[in-house]
Structures are given as C-alpha cells and as structure tokens.
Chains A and B, each alone.
Chain A
Amino acid sequence: MTTTDDRTGAAPEPTGPLSTIDYSERIPNNVNLNEDRRLQRALEGWQPKFLDWWRDLGPQLPTENVYLRTAIAVGRDGWAHFDHVPMEEYRWGIFLAEQDPDKTISFGKHKGEPVWQEVPGEHRADLMRLIVIQGDTEPASVEQQRVLGATAPSIYDMRNLFQVNVEEGRHLWAMVYLLHAYFGREGRQEAEQLLKRNSGDLDAPRILGAFNEETTDWLQFFMFTYFTDRDGKYQLGTLKESAFDPLGRTCEFMLKEEAHHMFVGTTGVQRTVERTAEVMKAKGGPARFEDGVIPLQVIQQYLNFQFSVSMDLFGSEQSTNAGNYYSSGLKGRWQETRRKDDHVLLDDTRTMRHVVDGQIVEKEVPMLSALNLDLRDEYVADCENGVRRWNQELEDAGLEERLVLPHEGFNRKVGTYAAHRISPDGRVLSEDEWAASVDEWLPSEESRRAVADLMVPEYEYGKFAAWIAPPKTGINDQPVEFDYVHLAEEGLA
C-alpha cells in the first residue's frame, strides 16, 4: 500500500538488481570479502569471539535446530530462505543493499554531492560513534531475552524469538563490518568492546538505557519488540539516509529484516489482547490473573512503561548534535527523500511542547535543533497504528475498554519533561499527586511476578499457553502446528 500525505511524497518505486550472497565463504557476504584478505582475516579473527559470546549470552534453551529465515540475496525479491538450522550454525554474514553508482547526498550542506564511499576525516569520530551505538543495541536485546525460551507460550513463538535473536546477531555483524572495514585499529577496538559491554552489567552496561532492562516475561518481550525495536527501526531509517554510503546500504537491508521484529511485537500483543478480550466477554467483566490471562489494566501498564522508556531513547527534544549530524550529512530524517522541504532546514522552525508554570504550552524552535523530536513524532504516529490494531480486538469482542498511548511527557527521564510529573492523559502533577496514582499507571513488581507466573512453557506443537491466542497463520505458509523448533533432549527436561 502506497501512502502519501502533505509532508512527504509517494513511496519510491522499488529498484535495484538482485545480488546473491556468497555462502561458500567462512563469513557469508556480498561485499567481495575475499578480495580484501586483510579485512577478511580481521573479521575471521572476530568471528570466534562472536560465537563465544553467542554461546555464553545467546539463547539458553538447548535446541537441535530451528526453522529460521536466512538471507540469500539482498534485492527486493526472493531474499529469504527458510529451513531448519542449528542456531550455532546460523550463517551470520555481511549483507549490504545494492550500490547505486549515481546516488547523491540528499540533505545537509553536502546535498547534491556524490555519496561517500570512504569516511571523511572530519566526520570520522562522529560516524564511528553512531555506528558503535547502533551496534551496541543489537547484541543487547539478545542478552536481555536469553532465558525467554524456557517459558515460551508455544513452539511457534519460540521460533519467532530465536529468529529475532539470530537477526540481531547479524545486525551486530553488519556494524562490526563497518568498524573493521572503515575505521582501522580504533574500529577493531570498538568491535571488541561491543562484545564486552553486557546488558545489565553494572560496570560495563550496554549504552542505551532500555537495553539494560531485563526481559522478564513474554508480554514484556512483545512490548519490547513493538516499542523499543521500533525505535531501532526509526534510527536505522535515519542512518539509511547517511551520506556515508556503506552505512546507508547496510541499514537499508537491516530494515528489511527488522520488519519481522515489528511483526512479532505487533501480533504478540494483539494475540495477548485477543485472549484477554475473550475472557472479558465471557465473564461480562474484567479479566483477572486467576482467569489465566493478563488483565487489560496490566497490559496497559506494560504499554505505558515500554512506551515511555522507548521515548527516552530518542534523546532530548532539542539537540545541537542532532542538528550537526544532519547538516554534516551523517544522519538524515525518517523518509528524508520524501520530505517536501529544502532538506537543509537552516531557516525552518517547528513547534514543541514544554512545561511552563505548571502548564504544557507550545513554543517555536529552529527545526535543525529539534530533529530528535521530529523523529520521535514519526515514531509516535507509527506506534498509534499498533494500538488501533490491538483495540480492534477489543471492539470485535464487543467491549468498551480501549488501550491508549500515554502522553509524551509521561514517566520521562530525558528531555523537557524529565523535571516534571505528567499523567498518562497529559496533566502536570505535583509529586504527591504522582505518588498517589503511579501504581495505577506502571506495572508493580507484584503484577510483573503475576505475569511471570502465567509464563508456563508450552512445547507441544500446535498448542498455546492459555494467556495468548494462536496466530491465524504460520511462518512461511507452514501450518501453525509445524515443528518450528526441535528441542534438544536437555531442553525438554
């Protein structure tokens, strides 16, 4: 479906040839790695460290093999191959979207110039920094989700979890390739650090805050893939526009894989809501934990938490660095080429909300300083789509209740609202008012425990834990009861 609005033009027509990936190499790639022996050796030196990390901090449930998608090409069509694969033998590789020899920079002070195939010295530190932060998020979520297989509500969901995990691992490879190929010794050092920082580690945590929160249960996993991975989608969307072409092409292909992660989050929450709605309809009243499902209020609390944590990932509404990255061509806007403006933004302004004397009011700010907010607004609009989808389940069940996104200022630690207490419906509160109501808005430890208590594993093919509805269709047109995962004997114990 192609959509247009006043701000952006129509989606571009898909272009580009189909580039196959060389799987005969130790590291599958479509970057002719065998023509650069030095780089190849460096990456082959990093590979065993990655595999050690995967064994130590990757999925902990022992499996024989998993029905996984592997990229076999990077064009628009026919790039995905599905088969049962032992996870430790998954072919993590380096895949960049096809190069367009005529591509020019689409924004900033270098607009109209050819894109860069090498890193300009003046932008080296900033580009490396952006790649490191993106790279740091990829293994972080694998670490956060490493024990979830033990409580999977179905073999179908377990397979989806592992697909997300192996593709996050591949996205780490994508960033490590850029560090090794374009940033020399410093890049190799940063690649090592990507395996040394660990989610939740007190001394060396992952860089982004939300990637250090433990994923305690499957509802949180679904919320994470919906809200927090979606932040990743939008960050990748800005890096896809980068004047540094290898980064843009890398992110372009990562975005395709990222679609699966969005699918897992959207449909996971949807199926949870569907099951809760079934019970509410049958009871003619609220569903409770003792009904074997997750109460709608708790789903809303999880939504409130993950949305607000993910909003912080966009940084301050106004940022000098974000403007500098844009003007320099390092990081564009979401769907930059479809924006109907001059793509330089020196004279543009926009409004932003902030708190003055206990009231949320608007002020006009330079557009260049507010690019974090611009991206966040795009993200919020996208988040609304999922909530509408989830509410359709409630409506279909004939229920009046609805899920809602909280106000942008709710539970914020970063940005203009950080110094204020804002209710989910956007009221500025005193500390006392906040304290009196916060346990209605955010999940308590007890409700997290109650959700965790529902997380009993269901490993029989085609069966689903009682708190979640089955999907309508399976993966790659396989039946829902397909043997998506073969557990190792010790995994069944």
Chain B
Amino acid sequence: MALAWVREDDPVWDADKRRVIGGAPEGAFVLPFADGDPLPGEWWSARDAGADGTVLGYGRLDVTWGGDAEILLAVDPAGQEKGVGSFVLARLEDEAAARDLNYVHNRIREHADADRVHDWLVVRGFRGSTSEDLRKRVGAGGGRERPASASTPARPQPSRAASGGSGSSRAPGHEEQGGYVDVDEHQY
C-alpha cells in the first residue's frame, strides 16, 4: 500500500484521531483532549496515498529536553499488519534526525498490548534498561549550517601581563557571601 506522510501545521483532536488513536488499548496513551482542542508537539498523519487519502496512522514528536524526543505512534486498528506502523516509525526517525536529535524514545505504559509493543520496538532497534522506556539512536547528526566565507588570517600578538582588568570582585573564593552562589542572586 502506498502511504503519504502529511504534516499537521495546527494539530487538533478530531474524529480521525479519535478513530485511530482512540482505537488503541486502554491506557496506551494519555491524551485527554476534546474535539477541537489544539495538540502540543509536532504531528503527522500517514494517509492512503490513493484518492480518498484516508488516515491510517499518526506520528508525533514531543521534544521535552532537546536531544531526544518521545515518539507517539498509532495505527488504525482496522489497518494493522500492513506496514503502516513501520512507515510511521521510519518517518518519525527521519524527522528527528532532521532536527539534529540523537535519540528517540518511547514510553510504554501499562496496557493490554504493552508486551507486543515492546517487542515490536526492540525488533526495530530500540533498547532500554527498563521495559517501560526504550530509546533508539537516530541519524548521525547533520550538523548546523556553518557556511564558508572569506576571513582574514589571525595573527597572535605577544602576551600581556595582568594589570587590573575586568570582572567583578565577587568571584570564586567568596562562596560564603551568598551573592555569588545563591541561585536567587546569581550575578553571572
């Protein structure tokens, strides 16, 4: 089956999500939303690339602490075992790598199919010290833009002796004065 990967610019909870995500075993997802509620995170749908464009799955990246992202992956219960989940996972890994994220992880909550989800992810390269939270390395880091341009060669100059430079007198060695280290009063 040919699938299309479609980004949702302003994701909201709607009938398609109710059908696809709501069809998962109870407890698999914590998404207490009503129709029309805006959804945090970045969302994509996997659609039948044919004429009707039926939504068959969803993927979401939730970047909590930049470097890795939690993935959400849901497939229409009526469309399972057709490669939709693998398609969504591969696209999510691509999206994460494009954001210079090094890892994605999946939090597996307690539900009837938790073991099956765990094994499905392990087969696809996810690992973890606990069965509830699995992580996978994605991409190899494309790096940020550092365009080349002409610059003038540097010329190191002779060193100079200290002669009373910049900086505050509040410095290491004055920890006991509080103002240097107290987080409410950090001066630096």
Q: Which residues of B contact A413 (CB under 8 A)?
A: 98-100, 144
* Chain A CB within 8 A of B35 CB: no
Report yes or no: A321 in contact with B148, Cβ–Cβ below 8 A.
no
Q: Which of B38, B100, B105, B129 has the most CB of A within 10 A?
A: B129
Rounded to whole Å, the gap between the CB of A229 and the closest CB of chain B is 10
A386 to B187, alpha carbons, bound, how many Å? 9
Say whether A358 faces chain B, with CB atoms less than 8 Å apart.
Answer: no
Does B65 contact A460, Cβ atoms closer than 8 Å? Answer: no
A259 in complex: contacting residue of B30, B158, B176, B186, CB < 8 Å: B186
- Contacting residues of chain A (337-380) with chain B, CB-CB under 8 angstroms: 365, 369-370, 372
- How far does the alpha carbon of A215 sit from the alpha carbon of B150 in the complex, in Å? 22
Whether A316 contacts B63 in the complex (CB less than 8 A), given A290-B153, A291-B155, A309-B144, comes out as yes
Question: Which of B145, B155, B166 has the most A CB atoms < 10 Å from its CB?
Answer: B166
Within 8 Å by CB of B130, from A82, A125, A298, lies A125
Give chain B interface residues in 141-185, CB to chain A under 8 Å.
Answer: 141, 144-169, 171-173, 175-176, 178-185
Cβ-based interface call for B113 (8 A): no
Given that A271-B166, A466-B160 are contacting pairs, would A211 and B67 also be in contact in the complex, using a CB cutoff of 8 Å? Answer: yes
Cα distance, A92 to B58, chains bound together (Å)? 47
A237 cross-chain contacts in B, Cβ below 8 A: 183
Per a CB cutoff under 8 Å, which of A12, A208, A233 touches B66?
A208
Closest to B11 in A: A318
Residues A77 and B100 in contact, CB atoms below 8 Å apart: no
CB distance from A254 to the nearest CB of B (A): 10
Given known contacts A204-B137, A208-B67, A447-B151, A365 and B181 CB-to-CB distance under 8 angstroms: no
B70 contacts partner chain A, Cβ-Cβ < 8 Å: yes
Do the beta carbons of A265 and B188 come within 8 Å of each other? yes
Tell me the interface secondary structure of chain B in the complex. loop
Residues of B within 8 A of A139 (CB): none
A185 and chain B: residue at smallest CB distance:
B129
How many residues of chain A have a CB within 8 Å of chain B? 123
**A260 contacts the other chain (Cβ, under 8 Å)?**
yes
Contact with B along A280-322 (1 / 0, CB 8 A): 0000000011111100001000000100010011111011111
Complex contact A1–B151 (CB within 8 A): no
State the CA gap A237–B186 with chains docked (Å). 12
Considering only CB atoms, which chain B residue lies closest to A392 in the complex? B166
Q: List residues of chain B with CB within 8 A of the CB of A78.
A: 176
Contact: A76 with B63, CB < 8 Å?
no
Question: Do A128 and B64 touch across chains, with their CB atoms under 8 A apart?
Answer: no
CB contacts (< 8 Å) of B107 on chain A: these are 125-126, 129
Interface residues of B in 59-76 (CB under 8 A from A): 61-70
Most chain B C-beta atoms within 10 Å of own C-beta, residue among A256, A259, A324, A438: A259
A133 touches B153 (CB 8 A): no
Q: Please, how many angstroms separate the alpha-carbon atoms of A78 and B181 in the complex?
A: 12
**A121 → B minimal CB distance (Å):** 10
A82-B173, A128-B133, A206-B102 as given contacts; A255 in contact with B183, CB under 8 Å: yes
Contact (Cβ within 8 A) A202 B154: no
Given contacts A289-B153, A316-B40, A125 and B100 within 8 Å (CB-CB) = no
Assembly CA distance A167 to B88 (angstroms): 42
CA distance A262 to B167 in the complex (A): 13
Q: Say yes or no for B101: interface residue by CB 8 A criterion.
A: yes
> Chain A: interface secondary structure?
helix
Q: Which of A63-87 contact B (CB under 8 A)?
A: 69, 76-80, 82
Asked whether any CB of chain A lies closer than 8 Å to the CB of B90, the reply is: no
Q: Is the CB–CB distance between B166 and A203 below 8 Å?
A: no
Task: For A203, list chain B residues within 8 Å (CB).
Answer: 137
CB-based contact B155/A411 at 8 Å:
no
Report yes or no: B147 in contact with A314, Cβ–Cβ below 8 A.
no
A257 proximity list for chain B (CB < 8 A): 181
Q: Which of A186, A372, A445, A458 contacts B64 (CB 8 A)?
A: A372
B132 at the interface (CB under 8 A from A): yes
A262 (CB) vs chain B CBs: closest residue: B188
Please determine whether A473 and B169 come into contact, CB atoms closer than 8 angstroms. yes
Please state if A292 and B155 are interface contacts (CB–CB under 8 Å). Answer: yes
Partner of A444, one of B137, B146, B163, B169: B146
Report which of B70, B100, B159, B185 forms a contact with A465, defined as CB distance below 8 A: B159
B103 within 8 A of A: yes
CA distance A240 to B182 in the complex (A): 13
Q: Does B42 contact A (CB under 8 A)?
A: yes
At the interface, yes or no: A250 with Cβ under 8 Å from chain B?
A: no
| 7 A–B contacts, CB within 8 A, in A order | A124-B132, A259-B181, A267-B166, A365-B38, A444-B147, A445-B146, A471-B162
Smallest CB-CB A-B distances: 8 pairs: A476-B173, A292-B157, A208-B67, A466-B157, A318-B40, A11-B184, A470-B162, A470-B165
Residues on B close to A: CB < 8 A? 30-31, 38-42, 61-70, 98-103, 105, 107, 129-130, 132-133, 137, 140-141, 144-169, 171-173, 175-176, 178-188
Residues of A within 8 A of B (CB): 1-2, 11-12, 14, 69, 76-80, 82, 124-126, 128-129, 133, 160, 163, 185-187, 189-190, 193, 202-212, 233, 235, 237, 240, 255-257, 259-260, 262-263, 265-267, 270-271, 274, 288-293, 298, 305, 309, 312-316, 318-325, 335, 365, 369-370, 372, 386, 393, 411, 413-415, 418, 438-439, 442-454, 456, 458, 460, 462-467, 469-473, 475-478, 480-481
